[in-house]
Amino acid sequence: MPQMRIRLPVNLKNPDAPAPTYPRGAILMVAGAGGGFTGPAGMYPELSEAISAYPNLIAVQTGYRYPGELKPCVEDTINTLNMLRKEYNVERAVLVGWSFGGAVVISAAAAHPVVKGIATIASQTAGTNDVGKLAGQGEIYNYIRLEGPQ
């Protein structure tokens, strides 16, 4: 089977920090159905900057090939996790998803062993059927949905 090659817009913060003597962790942030990098209220770049202060963490903002289509967006997230594992020695990751991205991170977390936690921000419920699979992974997941203005 030929190797699949995908080009995704990815912004890595702190990938060149001195390699720690222990495996690295990553915080992978994905946007809503409109795609892009910045997340709700443009918070992902600022969050990435704060995360990069820790040499054992890589902050990752990634886009989608087909924003708004769940299956390809989950595949893009899984492929990004595979790249982080192979290229940057990432063995633990937390996924953050906003709106549509909440469904993306729930599905990706259920399908990838490197994911140790998720955070969803005002997640949609469509496409979140895999949430039950997360309970068997031995982690605790809290889901908070806030209504109203920022």
pLDDT digits (tens, 9 = 90+) for 93-119: 999 999 999 999 999 999 998 999 888
Q: What are phi and psi of 28, to 5 degrees?
A: -105, 120
Would 56 be classed as within a structural domain?
Answer: yes
> Once rounded to an integer, what is the mean pLDDT over residues 1-19?
52
Cβ contacts of 21 within 8 Å, gap of 6 or more? none
What is residue 124's predicted lDDT score, i.e. its pLDDT? Answer: 85
How many structural domains is the chain composed of?
1
Cβ contacts of 118 within 8 Å, gap of 6 or more? 94, 95, 96, 97, 105, 106, 109, 134, 141
Would 87 be classed as within a structural domain?
Answer: yes
Residue 5 above 60 pLDDT?
Answer: no
Residue 123 above 50 pLDDT?
Answer: yes
Q: Residue 92 in contact with residue 114, Cβ under 8 Å?
A: yes
Quote the CA–CA distance of 144 and 150 in Å, as a whole number: 14
Q: Which domain holds residue 34?
A: 10-137
For residue 144, count CB atoms less than 10 angstroms from its CB and return exposed for 0-12, middle for 13-18, buried for 19 or more: exposed
Would 144 be classed as within a structural domain?
Answer: no
What is residue 129's predicted lDDT score, i.e. its pLDDT? Answer: 79
Would 81 be classed as within a structural domain?
Answer: yes
What is residue 10's predicted lDDT score, i.e. its pLDDT? Answer: 57
Would 35 be classed as within a structural domain?
Answer: yes
Mean model confidence pLDDT for the chain: 79
Would 4 be classed as within a structural domain?
Answer: no
Would 1 be classed as within a structural domain?
Answer: no
Would 29 be classed as within a structural domain?
Answer: yes
